[in-house]
């Protein structure tokens, strides 16, 4: 297989030896994207979120794709993440700027299928999203509700080729 594709490996133990299983396919074609995330909804269904705004529903075992839920809602964006709070879905993305920092945007919808509404920055403007890009929203369940902690990664290309730092 040529090019960059989304693939997966499995193991019986977290720290065990992994076996390469191959690419994840949709319509018998490899998913050829580089920036992605995973979201598990409150109903237990899981989704693969891709840069450019594609959202795929994964099978229950995470080894195949059930269907394409939505295509291209954010064509010039990367570093996608989704979380759900009070019945509203939030899709956050970083601008496609090749590791350069930027003010990230977000979208909201009442259903993963949309329609999605575009919003301005979720961090103070000109902070370049606290010098980071969206990575994950960590749910923290408390006695009075759930809070979501923003988690972002920081790249410093071309100075930092192999590692990123994180901002929480």
Per-residue pLDDT of 131-147, as tens digits, reads 888 889 999 999 999 99
Per-residue pLDDT of 41-95, as tens digits, reads 999 999 999 888 899 999 998 888 999 999 888 777 888 899 999 999 999 988 8
The 3-class secondary structure across 71-122, one letter per residue, is CCCCCCEEEEEEEEECCEEEEEEEECCCCCCCCCEEEEECCCCCCCEEEEEC
**Confidence (pLDDT) at 2:** 47
Token code pair at residue 58: 């994964």
Sign (positive or negative) of CA dihedral 119, 122, 124, 129? negative
CATH topology of domain 33-167: Tachylectin-2; Chain A (2.115.10)
* Mean pLDDT for all residues in the chain: 86
**Confidence (pLDDT) at 36:** 84
Write down the pTM of the prediction.
Answer: 0.85
Calculate mean pLDDT across residues 6-15: 88
Token code pair at residue 36: 């992605």
The neighbouring-strand residues paired with 77 are 95
Per-residue pLDDT of 90-107, as tens digits, reads 999 888 887 677 888 899
């Amino acid at each position: 297989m040529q090019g960059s594709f989304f693939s997966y490996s499995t193991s019986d133990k977290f720290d065990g030896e992994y076996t390469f299983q191959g690419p994840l396919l949709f319509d018998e074609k490899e998913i050829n994207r580089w920036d992605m995330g995973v979201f598990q909804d409150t109903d237990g269904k899981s989704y693969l979120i891709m840069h450019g705004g594609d959202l795929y529903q994964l099978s229950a075992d995470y080894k195949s794709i059930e269907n394409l839920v939505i295509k291209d809602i954010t064509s010039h964006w990367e570093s996608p993440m989704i979380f759900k709070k009070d019945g509203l879905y939030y899709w956050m993305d970083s601008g496609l700027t090749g590791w350069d920092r930027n003010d990230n945007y977000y979208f909201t919808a009442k259903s993963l299928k949309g329609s999605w509404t575009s919003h301005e920055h979720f961090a103070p403007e000109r902070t370049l999203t606290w010098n980071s890009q969206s990575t994950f929203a960590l749910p923290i369940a408390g006695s009075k509700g759930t809070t979501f902690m923003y988690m972002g990664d920081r790249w410093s290309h071309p100075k930092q080729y192999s590692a990123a730092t994180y901002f929480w």
